[in-house]
């Protein structure tokens, strides 16, 4: 599978602020920035309205930029349960927008993204923003942090995507081979029982 030219949308999910980005995979490890921004929803609005606004905004981005794949941060326990729940609701509508368009979604933990971008799974925000700025050749650091995080997710998928695709293909080949062996074994058992 050729990843050069692939458009990757990176999403740093959040209900109040959701970072969105689109990059294009270049030759080798080159990554070209296409767009970056942050969608905000008013904290005083009802949950349904906020989710609807988020869904509409990400849908518009997907329709405008036509990503081939989405890389999104995996929701995990951070301490405040209500914050995690709101983020999980946001992830649900974001994944739904991608699913409606037939766009595959890959989930990455923050440590996976940090490791891919900086080589250190515990890199801080400043290190990550600096690396994202350098990798994309930007003249200034993307702001706010949600925008930089969305770009980091997109870059992470550009770099990890080829290995994930190769692993999936190898798994499919192994499953097909296993089915062949099972069919052959069944044929042999039948032949032996007929004799």
Record the tokens describing residue 175, joined without a space. Answer: 């499953």
Residue-level pLDDT at 16: 94
Question: How many structural domains are present in the chain?
Answer: 1
Q: Which of 73, 112, 149, 182 is catalytic?
A: 73
Banded pLDDT at 191 (limits 50, 70, 90): confident
Domain that holds residue 77: 7-169
What is the pTM assigned to this prediction?
0.83
CATH classification of the domain holding 137? 3.30.420.10
Banded pLDDT at 1 (limits 50, 70, 90): low
Whether residue 147 is contained in a domain is answered as: yes
Q: Which of 146, 149, 172, 182 is catalytic?
A: 146
Out of 94-103, 106-115, 139-148, 176-185, least confident range:
176-185
- What's the rounded Cα separation, in Å, for the pair 76 and 149? 16
Q: Catalytic residue at 146?
A: yes
Q: Which of 12, 68, 77, 112 is catalytic?
A: 12
Summarised one tens digit per residue, pLDDT across range 107-152 is 999 999 999 999 999 999 999 999 999 999 999 999 999 999 999 9
Please enumerate, by residue number, every residue annotated as part of a binding site for Mg(2+).
12, 73, 146
Q: How many CA atoms lie within 13 A of 155 on its CB side?
A: 29
Whether residue 186 is contained in a domain is answered as: no
Whether residue 190 is contained in a domain is answered as: no
Summarised one tens digit per residue, pLDDT across range 9-19 is 999 999 999 99
Is a pLDDT exceeding 90 seen at residue 183?
Answer: no
Please enumerate, by residue number, every residue annotated as part of a binding site.
12, 73, 146
Q: Catalytic residue at 12?
A: yes
Banded pLDDT at 2 (limits 50, 70, 90): low
Q: How many CA atoms lie within 13 A of 56 on its CB side?
A: 8
Residue-level pLDDT at 193: 82
Q: Catalytic residue at 73?
A: yes
Most distant CA atoms of the chain, gap in Å: 78
- The answer to whether the beta carbons of residues 36 and 61 sit under 8 Å apart is no
- What's the rounded Cα separation, in Å, for the pair 87 and 119? 27
Rounded to the nearest angstrom, the gap between the alpha carbon of residue 133 and the centroid of all alpha carbons in its chain is 19
Whether residue 181 is contained in a domain is answered as: no
What is the mean pLDDT of the segment spanning 159-172? Answer: 72
Q: Pairing between strand 69-73 and 105-108?
A: parallel
Whether residue 177 is contained in a domain is answered as: no
Whether residue 76 is contained in a domain is answered as: yes
What is the mean pLDDT of the segment spanning 85-110? Answer: 95
**Beta-ladder partners of 31:** 25
Q: Pairing between strand 7-12 and 17-25?
A: antiparallel
3-state per-residue secondary structure call for the chain: CCCCCCEEEEEECCCCEEEEEEEEECCCCCEEEEEEEEEECCCCCCHHHHHHHHHHHHHHHHHHHCCCEEEEECCCCCCCHHHHHHHHHHHHHHHHHHHHCCCCEEEECHHHHHHHHHCCCCCCHHHHHHHHHHHHCCCCCCCCHHHHHHHHHHHHHHHHHHHHHHHHHHHHHHHHHHHHHHHHHHHHHHHHHHC
């Amino acid at each position: 599978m050729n990843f050069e030219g692939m458009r990757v949308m990176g999403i740093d999910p959040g209900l109040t602020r959701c970072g969105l980005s689109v990059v294009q995979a270049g030759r080798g490890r080159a990554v070209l920035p296409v767009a970056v921004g942050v969608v905000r929803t008013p904290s005083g609005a009802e949950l349904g309205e906020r989710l609807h606004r988020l869904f509409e905004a990400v849908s518009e981005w997907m329709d405008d930029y036509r990503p081939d794949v989405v890389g999104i941060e995996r929701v995990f326990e951070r301490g405040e349960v209500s914050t995690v729940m709101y983020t999980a609701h946001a992830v649900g509508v974001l994944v739904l927008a991608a699913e409606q368009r037939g766009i595959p979604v890959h989930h990455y933990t923050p440590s996976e993204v940090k490791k891919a971008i900086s080589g250190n799974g515990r890199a801080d925000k400043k290190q990550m923003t600096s690396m994202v700025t350098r990798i994309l050749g930007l003249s200034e650091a993307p702001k706010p942090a949600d925008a930089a995080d969305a770009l980091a997710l997109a870059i992470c998928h550009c770099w990890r995507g080829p290995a994930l695709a190769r692993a999936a293909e190898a798994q499919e080949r192994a499953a097909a081979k296993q089915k062949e062996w099972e069919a052959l074994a069944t044929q042999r058992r039948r032949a032996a029982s007929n004799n």
